[in-house]
Amino acid sequence: MRKLKNKKIIFIALDCSINKAKFIIKSLQKTKSKKYIFGLKIGYQIFYSEKGRRFIKSITKFPIFLDLKLHDIENTIKNALHAIKDLKNINYISIHTSCGLQAIKSAKKITKANLLGVTTLTSFNQKMLKEIGHTKKINNLILQQAKLAKQAGCYAVICSGKESFKINKLAKIKTITPGIRLLGDKTDDQKRVVTPKDALTKQNAFGIVIGRSITSGNIKNNFKKLFDHLKL
């Protein structure tokens, strides 16, 4: 597993075709920053595609966050991690905190990648949480999930920028925030969104995941907007 410098990280979400992902990677290769490292978040679309694993193995110049969102019983999660041990260039793998303490601890023993504990999805709001039977306020639930992730040995938690600062302070664990949008962009299905700058500075996130604000429309122009926004 690649050792990373002590910089904050910006993951570009490759929730797209492999051909589009290759173009995005090419656009990133000449980007340099004193403040940030750029990484790649790879989700279901590429991982489950016919040539997905071969493509993942071909990436050598960027840290990789494999966003599997593991969410199952302990034994199934262990078997899944054993099955992807051939992917030796993975730096981070996501696992739902709702799997429970023991399942996360077992996962940590198997993989060399840093585990990222998924809290409550950024597409959820209080109403949707109630629909699936949760009675806690969303902020309190996410804090409890973050504390469990810390106890289980996760490297960081996945949470929205709305909760990041509080988690840093009270759960004492790093945060990586999805639900990132550039100013003026549509929020789409996301409910708890912030800008890259707010997440990385005001909310003190260790990293962000930004997808549709980069991959929708003109990718080169979108990268320029991001770089101008962060003053790279």
Tell me how crowded residue 188 is: count the other CB atoms within 10 A of its CB: 13
CB 102, CB 125: distance < 8 Å: no
User: Which one from 20, 69, 197, 225 is the annotated catalytic residue?
Assistant: 69
Size of the chain in residues: 232
Tell me how far apart the alpha carbons of residues 166 and 146 are, in angstroms, rounded to a whole number: 10
Is residue 35 annotated as a catalytic residue, yes or no?
Answer: no
- The radius of gyration computed from the CA coordinates of the chain, to the nearest angstrom, equals 17
Count of alpha carbons within 13 angstroms of residue 165, beta-carbon side: 9
What kind and span of H or E run contains 79?
helix 74-83
Tell me how far apart the alpha carbons of residues 170 and 143 are, in angstroms, rounded to a whole number: 8
Tell me how far apart the alpha carbons of residues 213 and 217 are, in angstroms, rounded to a whole number: 8
CB 9, CB 207: distance < 8 Å: yes
Catalytic residues: 69
